């Protein structure tokens, strides 16, 4: 029976990230691998109160019952205000609640991609996006955000395959930590107009800026051009995973109403709706705590980023380069040519008990062998300094 | 940009069930429409305690964090015992936790179906299954469980299209309430062998048997033939939605390890994992309460079924027929030829404030216009008697 189902799933690489998550519990290991929030920073008490309220006499019948595919209306209302705060005017019919922003990526792949269609993605880009889109068998082409490829060049590379969307995370992207500047965002919108394709803006890290001036989301820039969200080709994916809790699986997607209503149908067919009680709990915690909680996260993660940058400057041998992110969870390290990130990981685990993610997995074309991703979100400063010291040691060995 | 995404979602009918759910809140309406559990019967206190535990100092860091795609190991262990109790021997690597059994249907569609492939389904069958599979653009053919179609006939009807699976709910199926007898189950396994296709057994209502002798799941019968689950072509989908709570979106799928490991990859790509905290809460409530809670549900729902059957006998005019389910939530009513269920619903809502689901939506070929589905799970006996009296009134009018 194997030949029956060895179609879509078999093309996906077993994710190195997931395998690495299994290492996190081992004693003595310093892990810069998982791009995960520090569990000590979760607003656990606020969630305990929110779940208690949801399961109190007034709300329990609702909290434990089926609910509509669009999502919990008070949470969508809160998100209308949140999106306004980052420059996007929308109403609740422009918002669908998803089970993490990962699910929005899956549904967008399902909505847009037929086998052989072209998706433009960063080189490297978020591995989870590649996995989500891969299920729909597209071709990937390299999205350039510095404007050095014109529409004609993309079309030529697509060779007749329809170019369906450009996907990117514009702020502190996973895995590089890099941010697309205002000019790059405007150029991307110009490109999308010329190609008549959608833009999928992954805002997973958007709230975690530590310094520098905020840059409006691509969706806000497009709305400024076009007046209404209904005229926008940008679709924005947001997540509470990096700000409140990933374990509840609550994210959202914002788009023109025809896109959102199609996605509601996809969600209804795929899992009916996201957990009712989790949406109610996230709503209460977002309403009561987001404003104070997120600045605390920013201060904490900023200090960890600074510790990692300082330690890199101190311990990296010549020929190693790295990014200086203004937010998010990641620093991207480029090793000297010929040094293989996967080999380095194997050596680091064995000799100095250090974990990180080899960068190659983030490239659709399996280049990038001499890169690694370091996450600074889940270690305190002392651990970060010691981990980077170990990285220096194994690189010099 | 419309033409870019008007592919998969647009083929799905906007679900009548979902639209009807929106009516449930209106005053004075008696609804036999939604196939939903009675929220007064939820084990809300047990869930309150379980969420409190999960958010206590020992478990909060885990409960709110990312977790593995396969699902929470203690819950999968509990399910190994549950499956053993219904005749299926498996271990935890045969089990994936999904966000409701609906998600398992979506992933099975994704795993098995390419456009034009054939899926065998009941006529009528669960609308959510048709919606889930529809996204992958199969042909549907009518599965007969009374053995009056042989493999050659299915092959001829498929006309070269690969027959990938037969999907059915063998116990108290949605929408008919009917159960496939032992002989029908064995015949289906014979057919699947001849066609070399999978069998997707939807066990959503399996625990809700009110009388009659339990019949082993199709998966148990196949295991009895073949010795090991690893040789089985049956894939079993289970759900806590009908026994504990649908609002938490926790279900599971059981199959041979190669199938489950492919589905784990699909899940990882589609939404990473189901809510960690919800899996922990469901585990605690299942462990502590399932054994006492489900018999209480059976007693309560059995009394409601009986009330509906008695009221139907009293109030239905000649020429109306209905099923006598041994469990589940539904009675299926066949109206005299020429009476249209959708028209009847419109009249019933307007004149007697009664809601139910017209049966046509459950037929892949849009036949069944003279059928309706009544759910008895979410109304007390007096309401059921009054509702069926109203149905008689509108049918006679």
Q: How many Å lie between the alpha carbon of A393 and the closest alpha carbon of chain B?
A: 31
pLDDT in tens, B272-281: 999 999 999 9
Residue A23 has pLDDT above 70, yes or no: no
Cβ atoms B276, A245 nearer than 8 A: no
Which residues from chain B sit within 8 angstroms of residue A39, using beta carbons? 60-62, 64-65
The DSSP bridge partners found for residue B183 are none
Q: Judge: A66–B162 Cβ closer than 8 Å, yes or no.
A: no
- Token pair 């480029």: residue: A334
Q: How many Å lie between the alpha carbon of B317 and the closest alpha carbon of chain A?
A: 34
Which residues from chain A sit within 8 angstroms of residue B112, using beta carbons? 4-5
What whole-number distance in Å separates Cα of residue B161 and Cα of residue B158? Answer: 5
Q: Judge: B47–A68 Cβ closer than 8 Å, yes or no.
A: no
Q: Determine the 3-state secondary structure of A272 from DSSP.
A: coil
Cβ atoms A271, B294 nearer than 8 A: no
What whole-number distance in Å separates Cα of residue B34 and Cα of residue B385? Answer: 18
Q: How many Å lie between the alpha carbon of A317 and the closest alpha carbon of chain B?
A: 34
- Going from the N-terminus, what domains does chain B have, and what CATH number goes with each? 2-43+291-396 (3.90.1150.10), 44-289 (3.40.640.10)
What whole-number distance in Å separates Cα of residue B318 and Cα of residue B41? Answer: 35
pLDDT in tens, B32-54: 998 899 999 999 999 999 999 99
Q: Judge: B269–A132 Cβ closer than 8 Å, yes or no.
A: yes
Residues 6+ apart with CB under 8 A from B381: B303, B304, B307
Q: Judge: B99–A271 Cβ closer than 8 Å, yes or no.
A: yes
Which residues from chain B sit within 8 angstroms of residue A262, using beta carbons? 5-6, 9-10
Nearest to B169, CA basis, from B112, B238, B110? B238
pLDDT in tens, B77-92: 999 999 999 999 999 9
In this complex, how many residue pairs, one in chain A and one in chain B, have their CB atoms less than 8 Å apart? 242
Mean pLDDT by 10 residues, chain B (397 residues): 36 48 72 94 98 98 97 98 98 98 98 97 95 95 89 96 97 97 97 98 98 97 98 98 98 98 97 98 98 98 98 98 98 96 93 94 90 97 98 96
Q: Judge: A269–B40 Cβ closer than 8 Å, yes or no.
A: no
What whole-number distance in Å separates Cα of residue A246 and Cα of residue B192? Answer: 41
Q: How many Å lie between the alpha carbon of B238 and the closest alpha carbon of chain A?
A: 14
* Angle at the Cα of B206 from the Cα atoms of B122 and B100, rounded to 5 degrees: 80
**Which of B55, B198, B246 is nearest residue A44 as measured by Cβ atoms?**
B55
Which residues from chain A sit within 8 angstroms of residue B128, using beta carbons? 269, 272
Which residues from chain B sit within 8 angstroms of residue A293, using beta carbons? none
Which residues from chain B sit within 8 angstroms of residue A265, using beta carbons? 9, 12, 14
What whole-number distance in Å separates Cα of residue B264 and Cα of residue B281? Answer: 21
The DSSP bridge partners found for residue A140 are A119
Mutate: best of B1, B52, B129, partner A, most A CBs <10 A? B1
Closest-approach residue (CA) in chain A for B196: A1
Cβ atoms A258, B9 nearer than 8 A: no
What whole-number distance in Å separates Cα of residue B386 and Cα of residue B374? Answer: 14
pLDDT in tens, B116-153: 999 999 999 999 999 999 999 999 999 998 778 999 99
Stretch A294-310: mean pLDDT: 98
Closest-approach residue (CA) in chain B for A231: B1
What pLDDT is stored for residue A7 in this prediction? 35
Q: Judge: B110–A265 Cβ closer than 8 Å, yes or no.
A: no
Q: Judge: B132–A269 Cβ closer than 8 Å, yes or no.
A: yes
Length of chain B measured in residues: 397
Q: How many Å lie between the alpha carbon of B161 and the closest alpha carbon of chain A?
A: 12
Length of chain A measured in residues: 397
**Which of A8, A271, A275 is nearest residue B278 as measured by Cβ atoms?**
A275
Interface pTM, i.e. ipTM:
0.94
pLDDT in tens, A108-147: 999 999 999 999 999 999 999 999 999 999 999 999 987 7
Mutate: best of A265, A285, A293, partner B, most B CBs <10 A? A265
Cβ atoms A282, A244 nearer than 8 A: yes
How many helices and strands, by DSSP H and E, does chain B display? 14, 13
Lookup: tokens for A173: 């992207």
Cβ atoms A155, A309 nearer than 8 A: no
């Amino acid at each position: 029976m194997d030949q029956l189902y060895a179609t879509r799933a078999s093309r996906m690489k077993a994710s190195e990230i997931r395998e690495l998550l299994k290492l996190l519990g081992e004693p003595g290991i310093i892990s810069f691998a998982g791009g995960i929030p520090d569990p000590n920073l979760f607003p656990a008490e606020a969630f305990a109160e929110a779940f208690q309220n949801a399961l109190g006499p007034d709300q329990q019948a609702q909290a434990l019952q089926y609910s509509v595919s669009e999502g919990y209306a008070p949470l969508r209302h809160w998100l209308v205000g949140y999106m306004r705060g980052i420059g996007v005017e929308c109403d609740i019919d422009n918002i669908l609640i998803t089970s993490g922003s990962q699910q929005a990526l899956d549904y967008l792949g399902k909505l847009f991609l037929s086998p052989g269609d072209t998706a433009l993605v960063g080189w490297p880009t978020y591995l989870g996006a590649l996995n989500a889109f891969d299920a729909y068998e597209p071709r990937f082409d390299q999205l350039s955000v510095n404007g050095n490829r014109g529409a004609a060049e993309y079309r030529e590379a697509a060779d007749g395959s329809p170019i369906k969307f450009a996907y990117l995370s514009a702020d502190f992207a996973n895995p590089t930590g890099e941010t697309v500047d205002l000019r790059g965002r405007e150029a991307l919108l110009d490109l999308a107009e010329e190609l008549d394709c959608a833009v999928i803006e992954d805002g997973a890290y958007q709230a975690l800026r530590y310094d520098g001036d905020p840059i409006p989301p691509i969706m806000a820039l497009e709305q400024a051009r076009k007046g209404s969200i209904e005229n926008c080709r940008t679709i924005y994916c947001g997540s509470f995973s990096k700000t409140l809790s990933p374990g509840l699986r609550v994210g959202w997607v914002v788009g023109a109403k025809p896109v959102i209503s199609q996605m509601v149908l996809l969600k209804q067919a795929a899992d009916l709706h996201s957990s009712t009680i989790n949406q109610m709990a996230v709503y209460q915690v977002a309403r009561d705590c987001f404003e104070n909680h997120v600045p605390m996260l920013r201060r904490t993660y900023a200090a960890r980023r600074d510790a990692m940058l300082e330690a890199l400057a101190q311990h990296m041998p010549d020929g190693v380069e790295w990014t200086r992110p203004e937010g998010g969870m990641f620093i991207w390290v480029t090793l000297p040519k010929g040094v293989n990130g996967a080999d380095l990981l194997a050596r680091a685990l064995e000799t100095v008990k250090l974990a990180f993610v080899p960068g190659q997995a983030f490239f659709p074309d399996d280049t990038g062998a001499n890169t690694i991703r370091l996450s600074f979100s889940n270690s305190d400063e002392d651990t970060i300094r010691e981990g980077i010291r170990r990285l220096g040691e194994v690189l010099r060995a």
